[in-house]
Amino acid sequence: MGYLTGAINRNLEHVNSLPVPTIEISENPLSLDRSYEALADSRSGGVALFVGRVREENEGKAVRGLTYTAHPTALDRLAQVVAEVSAEFRPLQIMAAHRIGELAIGEIAVICGVATVHRDDAFSACQLLIDTLKNEVPIWKEELYLDGSTHWVGTP
């Protein structure tokens, strides 16, 4: 799924005069360091990062791992979500990365980050970014349980 991996720089220049945001959907492990570096801007006084990880239990069932699957339009939709959040909050920098494939307990599944002049905007923009990503970007999660059963979450 290499077509989903890497930074995207199309359809975003018209949003504002910001540098092109970093967005990624990847089978490779996500990097907190790389995500934080993508938010570097000496004008920012607030940086908010959200990191979603695979947890060991969900709704009372022991989880052994997850599999994330992305629709071919997921990267384009992620770019639109980032553009919408950018239009509302005008961050100095913004990034979003989501993992696909099989993930083990404790692995990072998603990272969203925003750098703004003030912390309140950073928190608000980051929350809108992760909430909108989870609700609107076509990435689906299959939970794999220790008892051998599975359950799809967030599928249409």
The CATH number that applies at residue 97 is: 3.90.1170.40
E-strand ranges in 1-156 read 22-26, 46-53, 57-58, 61-70, 93-99, 101-104, 108-116, 139-145, 150-153
In a domain, 4, yes or no: no
69 has pLDDT over 50: yes
- Does residue 95 fall inside a structural domain? yes
Amino acid, res. 110 = V
In the chain, the percentage of residues whose pLDDT exceeds 90 is 83
**Does 7 map to a domain?**
no
User: What burial letters (b/e) apply to 68-92, b meaning 16+ CB within 10 Å?
Assistant: bebeeebbbbbbbbbbebbeebbbb
- Domain assignment present for residue 143? The answer is yes
- State the pLDDT at residue 33: 93
Residue 13 placed within a domain: no
Q: Give the pLDDT confidence score for residue 156 in this predicted structure.
A: 67
Give the pLDDT band (50/70/90) at residue 39: very high
**Domain presence at residue 31:** yes
In a domain, 61, yes or no: yes
* Helix locations, the chain, DSSP H: 32-38, 74-89, 119-136
Give CA–CA dist 38/32, Å, rounded.
10
Q: How far apart are CA 3 and CA 18, in angstroms?
A: 24
Distance CA 118, CA 43 (A): 10
pLDDT of residue 20: 57
Higher pLDDT, 6 or 41: 41
Residue 96's pLDDT is what? 97
How far is CA 105 from each of CA 52, 55, 58, 67, rounded to the nearest angstrom? 11, 6, 12, 11
Question: Is residue 14 one of the residues assigned to a domain?
Answer: no
Instruction: Kindly report the average pLDDT of the chain as a whole number.
Output: 88
The number of distinct structural domains making up the chain is: 1
Q: Is the pLDDT of residue 42 over 80?
A: yes
The domain of 122 spans: 22-153
Report the predicted TM-score, pTM, of the whole model to 2 decimal places: 0.87
Quick one: what percent of the chain has pLDDT higher than 70? Answer: 87
